[in-house]
Amino acid sequence: MTKNNSTTSITKKKCFVISPIGKEGSEVRKRSDDVYEYILTPVLLSLNYDFDRADKIATPGLIGSQIIKRLVEADLVIADLTGSNPNVFYELAVRHTIGKPVVQMISKGETLPFDITNSRTIFFDHHDLASVEQCKKDLELQIKATESDPKNVDNPVITVFDLISVRGSDNPVEKLLGDIFSTVVGFPEQLHNIQLTVSKLSGKYNIDFNKEETNAEARFIDGETEAFAVLTEVTRQAKNTVRSSRFFPESVLMQPTYVSAMEQRIQGTDGKPPLKHYYRIVALNNPIKQKDIIHHLNSFAGYPFTLYLTNNDNAFELVIVDDTDAFIHFYKEEKVIASTLHIKGKMVVSEFIEIFNKLKNRGLVKEFNCEKITRDNLIKNLEEVDNIFKKNRNQASKEKEENN
């Protein structure tokens, strides 16, 4: 659609809003109208979007066909998942199959379905003015992020399609990756499949790991202490970049050794040049991590170290050293590492770097770039960490009260 005046012709982007609508005069309709008018409308207008919702379509025709057409053609879809409305989830599924950008929203206190818990979602309270304002800011940020890279879409359907494609490949390394990725996505139910896959790598895929073009090897390491002994040694040899979603080993024996190796490589105090960068994802699932985060901000102020604080708690942990080694740690139910898959080889490890980049953006709460932290602004950053954990504690208490 275009907007014409005497001087310019501006092409507007299109957004379709899917949400519970309810009957005229119902509480559901009133809430959806309030969200549409006071949250979505100002943000979408400011970003130059034409937008509508199913009940606001003025064009004559079959409403079902018109909705599908908009789901397929719209540059952006905003999905309000509040109330677990079946029509909303149907429309969301249609959009997922198209593979185009979606921004998800849901009322605070509600729970996302299992299939989309890993998808970044804006939680808000439309009765709370401060929450409404924050929601508008978050919405604008997410929309701008999709505009900057509209082809970078990640949803359950796309993941499955990618796996089907990779696992059907004639390339033995791609087949290997397909099996590993599919079991990671399905963890923990398919952990035994991963173990079986790795134990039969060479035979099943007929891969010669000594070939220059493949140059890969993989093995399972049982036990946390054994796994972190290998990881610590590889970390000591790191030259460029380390990416990690593992904060600390639980083992009191390995923790100081591993942490020391990590800190020496970041600060370059082991007689070697410091790393170019260390990236670490920290899931905000345990209050005890606040102390560790504060320690890192203090220790690495001014160093090339970035922390990503997320609300996404994975059933596995991923560490990538340079572009040559990947470690995938799998948990038992009691949150102790049961086994670790160690993969070597640039061709394979590069795929895990892509997984890491997706993980750090899922449920992202705050990014701290320690290179920008100085003694002058350190206190401000530490206070922000404290506020994040306070907010998490308050949210957890509220959800516990609601569940009771």
Exposed (0-12), middle (13-18) or buried (19+): which is 61, by Cβ within 10 Å? exposed
Which residues, other chains included, contact 165 with Cβ-Cβ below 8 Å and sequence gap of 6+?
none
Fold exhibited by the domain 219-401 = Endonuclease; Chain A (3.30.870)
SS3 string, the chain, reads CEEECCCCEEECEEEEEECCCCCCCCHHHHHHHHHHHHHHHHHHHHCCEEEEEHHHCCCCCCHHHHHHHHHHHCCEEEEECCCCCHHHHHHHHHHHHHCCCEEEEEECCCCCCHHHCCCCEEEECCCCHHHHHHHHHHHHHHHHHHHHCCCCCCCHHHHHHHHHHHHCCCCHHHHHHHHHHHHHHCCCCCHHHHHHHHHCHHHHHCCCCCCCCCCCEEEEEECHHHHHHHHHHHHHCCCCEEEECCCCCCCCCCHHHHHHHHHHHHHCCCCCCCCCEEEEEEECCCCCHHHHHHHHHHHCCCCCEEEEEECCCCCEEEEEECCCEEEEEEECCCCCEEEEEEEECHHHHHHHHHHHHHHCCCCEEEEEEHHHCCCCCHHHHHHHHHHHHHHHHHHHHHHHHHHC
Which residues, other chains included, contact 119 with Cβ-Cβ below 8 Å and sequence gap of 6+?
102, 104, 112, 154, 155, 362
What is the structure's pLDDT at 345? 72
Q: Alpha-carbon distance 5 to 361, whole Å?
A: 40
320, 352 in Cβ contact below 8 A?
yes
194, 159 in Cβ contact below 8 A?
no
What is the structure's pLDDT at 297? 92
Q: Do domains 2-148 and 219-401 have the same CATH topology?
A: no
- Residue type, position 247, single letter: F
What is the structure's pLDDT at 80? 94
Fold exhibited by the domain 2-148 = Rossmann fold (3.40.50)
255, 337 in Cβ contact below 8 A?
no
What is the structure's pLDDT at 338? 62
Residue extents of the structural domains in the chain: 2-148, 154-207, 219-401
What is the structure's pLDDT at 348? 65
Q: Alpha-carbon distance 376 to 365, whole Å?
A: 23
Which residues, other chains included, contact 24 with Cβ-Cβ below 8 Å and sequence gap of 6+?
none
pLDDT in tens for each of the 404 residues of the chain?
434 444 444 678 999 999 998 888 899 999 999 999 999 999 999 999 999 998 887 665 555 678 888 888 899 999 999 998 888 888 888 887 777 889 999 999 888 775 565 577 899 999 999 999 999 999 999 999 888 876 655 554 444 444 445 445 555 445 555 555 554 444 433 344 444 444 444 444 444 444 444 445 667 777 778 888 888 999 999 999 999 986 555 555 667 888 889 999 999 999 999 999 999 998 887 777 888 889 889 999 999 999 999 887 766 788 999 988 988 876 654 455 567 778 887 766 776 787 788 778 877 899 999 999 998 999 999 999 999 888 877 777 776 666 55
What is the structure's pLDDT at 7? 42
26, 43 in Cβ contact below 8 A?
no
How many residues does the structure list for the chain?
404
Phi, psi of 28, deg, nearest 5: -60, -45
What is the structure's pLDDT at 24? 87
What is the structure's pLDDT at 5? 44
What is the structure's pLDDT at 212? 42
Closest CA to 339 of 205, 238, 233, 197: 197
Classify residue 88 as left (phi > 0), alpha (psi -120 to 50) or beta.
alpha
Q: Classify strands 49-53 and 13-18 as parallel, antiparallel or unpaired.
A: parallel
346, 215 in Cβ contact below 8 A?
yes
